[in-house]
Amino acid sequence: MTEAVVSAPAVARTRAELAVLRAALPGSVAVVMTMGALHEGHATLLTEARGKADSVIVTIFVNPLQFGPGEDYDRYPRTWDHDLQICARAGAALVFAPARDELYPGGEPEVRAQAGPLGNRLEGEHRPGHFDGVLTVVLKLLHLTRPDIALYGEKDAQQLALIRHMVRDLDVPTTVVGVPTVRDADGLALSSRNRYLSEAEREQALGLPRALAAGAAAAADGPQAVVEAARQVLAGEAGMDVDYVELVDDDTWHPAGPQTRLARLLVAGRVGTTRLIDNREVDLGTHRGLKA
């Protein structure tokens, strides 16, 4: 059998090149924003995008604004050839991969998007300024690519919620779509940072999905039981330095309470030098005391 010919996407490195190539795209346009080091989770986002729009743009940019002091900006994996192959196989029409000076021509921007109160909780508490950096680059890329649809993975659930808030609050004419987390066969959520893990560290990292599963299994006993079950699993994981275990209302992102039906259980921790996050939806609709 002859393998199908895969067409390489067009590549834009500058704003001017992007403007010309974007104007030539037919029909509706979806964008998938990445920092490169693409994996099957990104491939799933691209497949979803191809099913929702006529043309797909992929952005590849390691955004310095969202890395704090001592974080892994310099060693963050850059795998251009591999990334381009994934974009081609997924049928992306255009890749925008600007240099740092192209996207931030005046150096670090003096004016930035602000994430608000939610941006200071959970991930924001442990990574001050992180979400301001995320929203700033997302807003810039939305302006530059002008998509009808933008797709983001639910693994970064707080980021997805904040992007939705920004698009709503600032009247950005783009529909934001969340795509379920993609996991390896052992249950670990796919992440570009997984490649940092040794074999032993990967086994330790599996404490995160195990904690989520234990929490979800305790849903019938209410929000506190969910959190306690997850914390108990993580307490027994040697080598896991836990940052937080939290259960929030999946709509408001306030702490889950007696009237919450759909919640999101979020966990974060460090294994060795690698920091990982994970989450899952938890249905509290049957827990004691909640009326249907």
Q: Rounded distance, CA 40 to CA 189, Å?
A: 11
Backbone angles phi, psi at 4, to 5 degrees: -65, 145
CA atoms in the 13 A half-sphere facing the CB of 138: 29
Residue 151: strand, helix, or coil: strand
Neighbours of 102 (CB within 10 A): 17
| Tokens of residue 129, six digits | 């300024």
Say if CB 52 and CB 177 are below 8 A apart: yes
Q: Please confirm, yes or no, whether 82 is among the known catalytic residues.
A: no
176 vs 30, 72, 154, 164, 168, CA distance in Å? Answer: 10, 28, 12, 6, 10
Element counts in the chain: helices (H) and strands (E): 10, 9
Neighbouring residues of 13: CB distance < 8 A, sequence distance ≥ 6: 97, 98, 99, 102
Give me the count of residues in the chain.
Answer: 292
Q: Which residue has the tokens 């959190």?
A: 227
Q: Is 192 exposed, middle or buried (0-12, 13-18, 19+ CB in 10 A)?
A: middle
- The one catalytic residue in 42, 143, 165, 254 is 42
Angle at the Cα of 38 from the Cα atoms of 34 and 40, rounded to 5 degrees: 115
Positions annotated as catalytic residues are 42
